[in-house]
Amino acid sequence: MIDIGANLTSKNFQRDLPSVIDRATAAGVEALVVTGTSLAGSRAAADLAEQTARAALYATAGVHPHHAVDATGDWLADLRALAGRARVVALGECGLDFNRNYSPQIDQIRCFRAQLELAAALRLPVFLHERDAHDTFTGILREHRTSLPGAVVHCFTGTRAQLDAYLSLDLHIGITGWICDERRGRDLIAVVPAIPDRRLMIETDAPYLLPRNMPSPPRDRRNEPAFLPYVLNAVAAARGEDAATTAAATTATARAFFGLPA
């Protein structure tokens, strides 16, 4: 398995990161993409991916819509430099979040467009975040789609119509432990079989979104990449496949999407 989205630079992992990575490897996670959500966070993700010999770690470099308001001055030049770092395999996390609106929407849109243009210039795929902003997000993406080598909507939790809109833009879809929640995940379970093999990837979004189908969840509720099999199993069950089939397909798709060595 490949975990395409793990926030390993989170302070929640500071105390035991080496064992978190070792547990992931032991659980069958053969590569991990560490999510960058700010300039400082992306720098930390790139550092971590370069310094860690314990597992195949990669990183994204980007500014999350929550942090768009901080994208001022030379931020784009700084991001361009980070995107050129050795283990950086995608631009992002970028996109729109009109649920929280931690940054004004006008800043989110400016920051999103700038990162799509940078990704196109650098020929990097993008790692995308969208919440309660589907129409605006899709409209902006449509303008840029042909110049982007690839794009994944991470933590997809939308409707069938939204999924169809994303697939018609030839986007990849990342599924998290949201699908493990019997109540909240019900709609997602119904639409996941409609995602083609070559567009489907899995992720933990650790330390967030602890899978609800764990028989004995950790007391601190912290999610970690070693719990990716719970996501895998829920995705496989939704698709009526055995887990090995889903694992092989999502791993091959992730390697191709991010250009990871086999």
In the complex with Zn ion, which residue's Cβ is closer, 67 or 129?
129
Tell me the C-alpha distance between 46 and 34, whole Å: 8
| Residue 67 makes contact with Zn ion by CB under 5 A | no
The nearest distance, CB 153 to Zn ion, in angstroms, is 9
Q: Answer yes or no: are the C-beta atoms of 119 and 125 closer than 8 Å.
A: yes
Q: Which two tokens stand for residue 72?
A: 């001022």
Tell me which residue has its CB nearest to Zn ion: 129
The nearest distance, CB 77 to Zn ion, in angstroms, is 24
The nearest distance, CB 35 to Zn ion, in angstroms, is 8
Q: Answer yes or no: are the C-beta atoms of 59 and 85 closer than 8 Å.
A: yes
DSSP per-residue letters across 194-242: GS-GGGEEE---BTS---TT-SS--TT----GGGHHHHHHHHHHHHT--
In the complex with Zn ion, which residue's Cβ is closer, 93 or 236?
93
Site for Zn ion in 123-182 (CB under 5 A): 129
Is the Cα dihedral 152, 154, 156, 162 positive or negative? negative
In the complex with Zn ion, which residue's Cβ is closer, 181 or 236?
181
Q: How many other CB atoms sit within 10 Å of the CB of residue 145?
A: 16
The nearest distance, CB 101 to Zn ion, in angstroms, is 15
Q: Which one of 6-14, 121-129, 176-184, 195-203 is the stretch in contact with Zn ion (CB under 5 A)?
A: 121-129
Residues in contact with Zn ion by the rule CB under 5 A: 129
